[in-house]
């Protein structure tokens, strides 16, 4: 049974008939249907303490109310859970491997269809939605993009 995961990203583009200004940007939401066995929950720097008290209070609340239930649900579903703390914390739990278990090198890793934010082929569902404003914008970049005249490098 697939995992239907509601995702969102901040769209820094507009439709072609809308001025491309920050006030017109906003969030885009969509649902990804993922196979549990091909999905992992990655927890990065879920800290137990912090020097900023207000941050720590907020982090404790988010951890208790959001991360812990998600972690329990992921484990119950049989999903892989990956903890990605900073290296000095990771070293407390296990010695680093002497070499990567799988070394991907060369032009085929990651696959070209996976690279960038607009992915294609079997990875298309993991990229952002195509943006109609981009082709003319890229064309403009090819002819007009340069360092600002206010900040030109000196000879």
Within this chain, do residues 43 and 89 fall inside the same structural domain, yes or no?
yes
Within this chain, do residues 27 and 53 fall inside the same structural domain, yes or no?
no
Per-residue pLDDT, 69 = 92
Per-residue pLDDT, 66 = 92
Per-residue pLDDT, 1 = 79
Q: How many domains does the chain have?
A: 2
Within this chain, do residues 51 and 91 fall inside the same structural domain, yes or no?
yes
Any domain includes 112: no
The pTM of the full predicted model, rounded to 2 decimals, is 0.64
For 63-82, how does the pLDDT look when each residue is reduced to its tens digit (9 = 90+)? 999 999 999 999 999 999 98
User: Which are the contacts of 86, defined by CB distance < 8 A and separation ≥ 6?
Assistant: 45
What CA–CA distance (Å, rounded) separates 80 from 78?
7
Any domain includes 18: yes
For 35-54, how does the pLDDT look when each residue is reduced to its tens digit (9 = 90+)? 999 999 998 888 888 888 89
What CA–CA distance (Å, rounded) separates 129 from 118?
7
- Are the C-beta atoms of residues 119 and 126 closer than 8 Å to each other? yes
**The domain containing residue 49 runs over which residues?**
37-95
Within this chain, do residues 16 and 63 fall inside the same structural domain, yes or no?
no
For 85-144, how does the pLDDT look when each residue is reduced to its tens digit (9 = 90+)? 877 777 777 776 676 666 666 667 788 888 888 888 988 888 888 888 888 877 877 787
Vertex 119 angle, CA 115 and 120, to 5°: 120
Within this chain, do residues 23 and 64 fall inside the same structural domain, yes or no?
no
Within this chain, do residues 5 and 51 fall inside the same structural domain, yes or no?
no
Any domain includes 153: no
């Amino acid at each position: 049974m697939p995992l239907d995961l509601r995702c969102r990203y901040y769209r820094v583009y507009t439709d072609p008939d809308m001025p491309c200004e920050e006030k017109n940007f906003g969030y885009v939401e969509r649902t990804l249907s993922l196979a549990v066995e091909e999905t992992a929950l990655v927890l990065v720097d879920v800290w137990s303490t912090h020097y900023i008290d207000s941050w720590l209070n907020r982090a404790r609340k988010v951890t208790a109310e959001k991360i812990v239930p998600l972690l329990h649900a992921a484990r119950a579903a049989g999903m892989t859970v990956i903890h990605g703390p900073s290296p000095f914390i990771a070293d407390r739990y296990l010695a680093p491997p002497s070499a990567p278990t799988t070394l991907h090198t060369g032009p085929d890793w990651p696959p070209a269809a996976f690279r960038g934010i607009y992915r294609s082929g079997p990875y298309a569902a993991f990229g952002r939605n195509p943006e109609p404003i981009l082709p003319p914008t890229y064309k403009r970049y090819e002819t007009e993009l340069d360092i600002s005249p206010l900040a030109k490098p000196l000879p």
